Homo-oligomer: A and B are copies of this chain.
Amino acid sequence: MSSPLVVQKFGGSSVADADRIRRVARRIAREREAGTSLVVVVSAMGDTTDELLALASAVTDEPDPRELDLLLATGELQSATLVSMALHDLGVPAISLSGAQAGITTDGRYGKARIAGIDPARIREELERGKVVIVAGFQGVGVAADGRAMPTVDVAETTTLGRGGSDTTAVALAAGLGADRCRIFTDVPGIFTADPRIVLDARQLDVVGYEEMLELAHQGAQVLQVRAVELGWVNGVVIEVLSTFEDVPGTRIMEDPLVEQRNKVRGLAHDRNVAKVTLVEVPDRPGVAAAVFEPLAEAGINVDMIVQNIGHGGATDLSFTIPAVDLARAKRVLEPLVRDLGFREMTTDASVAKVSIVGAGIHNAPGYAARMFRTLADAGINIEMISTSEIRITCMIAEDQVEAAVRALHAAFELERPEAPVGTAADAGAPIAGSAR
């Protein structure tokens, strides 16, 4: 194809009603007029996914994963057809495709499928006909995950990619089609140094490295699905996050050649949706940690920070964090173990939060950790747990202090200041135009 190919993704709030769908269609029509070939991935309209989940919950306590996927995937199918219709209304040739029609295959794990492959034949065909191709996000076609032999039937089954899966669809299509760009349109204008609802002088970033974005997303920045960032990283897809509603440049997520020369702390993330579990006086013997974390893993509960204190008197305290939404389930899993393994007790606390500083240079500069701890101490904020990665330091604190912590850290690391220009080469060679602010 001679014209540049761009994959765009519009989230649920961008297609929440007929008016917004028409607005999205006008935006697509403008870009197409400029000579761009477009593949557009859409999420379900507004709260559709939550409404469908509520319906399923009203029918049964434990919806069958296969049925739930078939149900939820209809949301994206609906918005895709409506965006296509709105484009027709503007005289723009368009066609909507389900995940299966778009050639997206998955590993078949219901509710959390991973994309196994992209067969771009149908999309290419439609693009060559001059059509804008609208792809229902969040879904693909997989094989039955239950492992039963299905020798005589077609095993094509709809599977969904998990919350935010449309981001992953978009990045995977960009990789599979060799697109020039993948643009994620959302209700915020880009990635900020901190949540601008909390920090008034939070600054939008022009460029964020893949690894930095992964840590930010892991630690609470909800703009982009973690897996979409991973997929972009592996495939070298430049992802731009930008606003549906304002026509301004967003943030590019890409391999950042200037990373070593930038301010080492790039941004803050915080996450209120965590809970702390402490097992008090755990017998200090081999195999205990495995006995605790294996059943949690089997229940699909992600454990994040883990802290084990020095043992005293043959016993130790073991603390860890999990998503707050999984707390009740985790208690059911662990309660039998309290007796079996001989803990004294299990305590839980859902009124905690995590705050993180993220930046690719952090591991080379131990001074950053000290500055973080000092800043929190000066603000009267107690640190309950600490964890670090190569490019991140995370502290667990009381939930009601999270805003104060984010503001104090943003000021301490001077994140409101524009990054110092890095020679004259700043942003030269960036593949996406229009990022200069």
Contact = CB atoms under 8 A, between A and B. Distances in A.
A314 B372 CA distance: 100
Interface string A95-127: 110100100000000000000000001100100
A7 interface: no
A26 to B, nearest CB: 12
Q: How large is the interface on A (under 10, 10 to 19, 20 to 34, 35 or more residues)?
A: 35 or more
B125 A89 contact: no
A154 interface: yes
A77 B76 CA distance: 13
A81 B71 contact: yes
Nearest to A82: B59
B101 A85 contact: no
B125 A96 contact: no
Contact of A74 (B60, B66, B74): B74
A84 interface: yes
Interface stretch (A50-58, A172-180, A210-218, A260-268): A50-58
A434 B250 CA distance: 69
A82 B70 contact: no
A84 B58 contact: no
A298 interface: no
Nearest to A86: B59
Interface in A66-93: 66-68, 70-71, 74, 77-78, 80-82, 84-86, 88-89
A399 B152 CA distance: 56
A21 interface: yes
A35 interface: no
A82 B88 contact: no
A378 interface: no
A59 B74 contact: no
Contacts of A101: 154, 156
Contacts of A81: 56, 67-68, 70-71
Interface in A123-173: 125, 150, 152-154, 156
B89 A60 contact: yes
A70 B62 CA distance: 28
A181 interface: no
Contacts of A257: none
A70 B58 contact: no
A81 B67 CA distance: 5
A183 B80 CA distance: 35
A153 B122 contact: yes
A63 interface: yes
Interface string A383-412: 000000000000000000000000000000
Given A74-B74, A74-B77, A150-B125, A64 B88 contact: yes
A152 B125 CA distance: 8
A377 B29 CA distance: 62
Interface string A272-312: 00000000000000000000000000000000000000000
17 contacts: A18-B55, A56-B85, A59-B85, A60-B85, A60-B86, A60-B88, A62-B88, A63-B88, A67-B81, A67-B82, A68-B81, A68-B85, A71-B78, A71-B81, A101-B154, A125-B150, A125-B152
When A and B form their complex, which 7 residue pairs have the shortest distance between CB atoms, in order from nearest? A18-B58, A60-B89, A74-B74, A71-B81, A67-B81, A122-B153, A59-B86
